[in-house]
Structure 1
């Protein structure tokens, strides 16, 4: 009888440790557009895949046809860690890599003794570089799946001496989680 009781206790203790962690089911894909850049004359589209409740991987595509921006194209993959109470929402920190192309507008200025100056357009130099950086931001999710976020980041170009030394990343973004 003692042996049967010990056997039952041992087998029941094995079943006591077979509990799984409760996971939250949520939508894991987001498609977003940067509303701030759209107002300024540029386009930035972003896709993000949420790995779990606290992390996500994404990629942004930025392009512009106007001369006001130093960067005219960038492809930016990023990794985010979220610190909010809702799944993949709230305050976040991101690390990013950026492949960017730029236009360097060349001007030469001549100063004459009589006080006049003449500025001549020399040529546009087009180049590309690779940057690494980090950013901060916050994301809010509506219960119907709409996403609102703002973020800002800074990075440094690594290879070309002619490219802008510092690159920025940021905006006010609207999107949808599906």
Structure 2
């Protein structure tokens, strides 16, 4: 029994002494030993807030050096913007950038897959013909939609953990046979 205990102790010590990289686990994902302690981000979409009267806030959790998940929520304040509200969860795969960004977690060029639940304003046009006269009427209706989409973008992370990103994408609305926009210029803070 003493020999088995001694053998197991030696094996455990040698495994820990000669391991290449120690990891810590988070929900089944393994983060490297040098993973930053700050892996959460809160961002505001300045593009839609300023130009569309549609403030959109986002939260993202960086899972490992090249993958993050998050969600965005926005609400339309003016009648000119096409979206009334939207809730959009997303997943991002980071895989590029310059030499500095390649050393940072969750930064650089990314591809995004998203799903969205939203309400948007849809313009409908009706053609009618009575007694040889044709008339065209149009009105806008609010419609609830849900769909899936893709986007591409670039995220920059400063030394002080400020985040800036550009995003451009589109999604397919499966309820109304249309599409929804996904894009903006965001700024935020990693904590």
Please point out which of 149, 156, 164 is paired with 2:172.
156
Structure 1 match to 2:26: none
The whole-number CA distance in structure 2 between the counterparts of 1:102 and 1:86 is: 37
The whole-number CA distance in structure 1 between the counterparts of 2:8 and 2:57 is: 57
* SS of corresponding position for 2:47: helix
1:67 aligns with 2:83: no
Q: CA deviation at 1:171?
A: 0.6
Number of paired residues?
166
Could you state the TM-score of these two structures normalised by the residue count of structure 1?
0.78
For residues 51-107 of structure 1, the C-alpha deviation after alignment (integer angstroms, 9 at most, x for no partner) is 222221111011113232222110000011112331111111111000010123445
Segments of 5+ residues of structure 2 without an aligned counterpart are: 1-5, 24-32, 96-101
Q: Which moved more, 1:22-31 or 1:86-95?
A: 22-31
Segments of 5+ residues of structure 1 without an aligned counterpart are: 1-7, 112-116
Please point out which of 77, 84, 91 is paired with 1:79.
91
The whole-number CA distance in structure 2 between the counterparts of 1:118 and 1:157 is: 30
Does the aligned pair in 2 maintain the 1:26–1:87 contact within 8 Å? no
Does the aligned pair in 1 maintain the 2:62–2:105 contact within 8 Å? no
Please give the root-mean-square deviation of Cα atoms over the aligned residues, in Å. 3.0
* SS of corresponding position for 1:39: helix
Q: Given the superposition, is the C-alpha separation of residues 104 and 9 from structure 1 closer, same or farther in structure 2, using an over 3 Å criterion?
A: closer
The whole-number CA distance in structure 2 between the counterparts of 1:34 and 1:164 is: 27
The whole-number CA distance in structure 2 between the counterparts of 1:94 and 1:33 is: 17
Larger radius of gyration between Structure 1 and Structure 2:
1
Structure 1 match to 2:148: 132
Q: Which moved more, 1:96-105 or 1:27-36?
A: 96-105
For residues 120-163 of structure 1, the C-alpha deviation after alignment (integer angstroms, 9 at most, x for no partner) is 56x542220101011111111111111100011111001x3xx3
Could you state the TM-score of these two structures normalised by the residue count of structure 2?
0.73
Runs of 4+, deviation exceeding 6 Å = 8-11
Q: Which moved more, 1:41-50 or 1:11-20?
A: 11-20
Q: Given the superposition, is the C-alpha separation of residues 144 and 110 from structure 1 closer, same or farther in structure 2, using an over 3 Å criterion?
A: same
